[in-house]
Amino acid sequence: MKKLLALLLAFAMIFAMAACGSQPAAGGDTAEKTWEDELGTKGLLRVGMAADYPPYESYDANGNVVGLDPDFAELMADYLGVELEIVPMSFDTIVSAVAAGTVDMGLSCFSYTEERAAAVLFTDTYMTSTQVCFASTQHGINSLEDLKGGLVAAGNGTTGYYLMEELAPTYGYDYQTSEIAIMAEALKAGTLQAGITEQCVADSYIAANPGDFKIIANDMTVEEIKAIANFNSPKLVEKINEFLADFVGSEAYDELLVKWFEQELE
């Protein structure tokens, strides 16, 4: 048994070392590379998304990922002149997947944080968002103060999760991780007292379930939403920033926001 464990630990170390190897790149190496060389597969932009986050990204009836971020990714791929592949994954694994090079970019309503910036490169901001706390209308929860002794949830690895962790001593609640779809259902049932998520996501769940949910705390943080890429892809990020500089604030950009946000709020 001891030998087996020793062997396993050895494997663990090899893997971990391999994982480190893929982080910050040698400067001289990237200098000659173009953004096209930085893609994992030539002519293909693979983008990781967590498709349970409407209106940013969710599945439609045919099983396609649709939303603001897929549209954005499509426009980026068009600008680069490459094919787009959307890779659905759970939100908490996207940063690791980008850092490991499993996908070229992550576009899943990522807020800029220093912790994330230590693991991946961020592009320029393409919009801003805030975190809100929402609850069921049925169980008498009207403010953060009402959460004392209750149970609150947020997605693993989201900025909402760390915010929730920070506020827990102040408001005296227990907290846990939860996927957003399970969270919404658990709020209705009374399994959870409140959930913390991005404002437009909360709005879309509220719009989809009329009368079931309400927001009990607004604007808990203000965050800059950016796309993320591997440290080995500075040229790709430059190219995406070129696109964003042209696109953000243009008429087409406004149309895109209206398409995904107004529709949800109607």
Which residues are near another protein by CB under 8 A? 1, 4-5, 8-9, 11-13, 15-17, 19-20, 23, 92-93, 95-96, 99-100, 115-116, 118-120, 139, 150-151, 153, 156-157, 161, 176-179, 182, 185-186, 189-191, 193
- Residue 55 vs 160, nearer CB to another protein: 160
With contact defined as beta carbons under 8 Å apart, do 133 and 196 qualify?
yes
- Residue 129 vs 230, nearer CB to another protein: 230
Categorise residue 154: left if φ over 0, alpha if ψ from -120 to 50, beta otherwise.
beta
- Residue 82 vs 105, nearer CB to another protein: 105
Q: How far is the CB of 230 from another protein (least distance, A)?
A: 12
Q: How far is the CB of 17 from another protein (least distance, A)?
A: 7
- Residue 66 vs 158, nearer CB to another protein: 158
Q: How far is the CB of 218 from another protein (least distance, A)?
A: 24
Q: How far is the CB of 47 from another protein (least distance, A)?
A: 17
- Using DSSP's 3-state secondary structure scheme, residue 87 falls into strand
Categorise residue 209: left if φ over 0, alpha if ψ from -120 to 50, beta otherwise.
beta
Dihedral in degrees, nearest 10, Cα atoms 212, 208, 150, 56: -160
- Residue 142 vs 218, nearer CB to another protein: 142
Q: How far is the CB of 72 from another protein (least distance, A)?
A: 22
- Residue 102 vs 221, nearer CB to another protein: 102
Contacts 24+ apart (CB under 8 A), 247-254: 247/75, 248/124, 248/125, 248/126, 248/127
- Spatial neighbors of 145 by CB under 8 A, at least 6 apart, are 171
Q: For residue 23, report the phi and psi dihedrals to the nearest 5 degrees.
A: -85, -155
CA dist., res. 116 & res. 49, Å (int): 16
Q: How far is the CB of 37 from another protein (least distance, A)?
A: 24
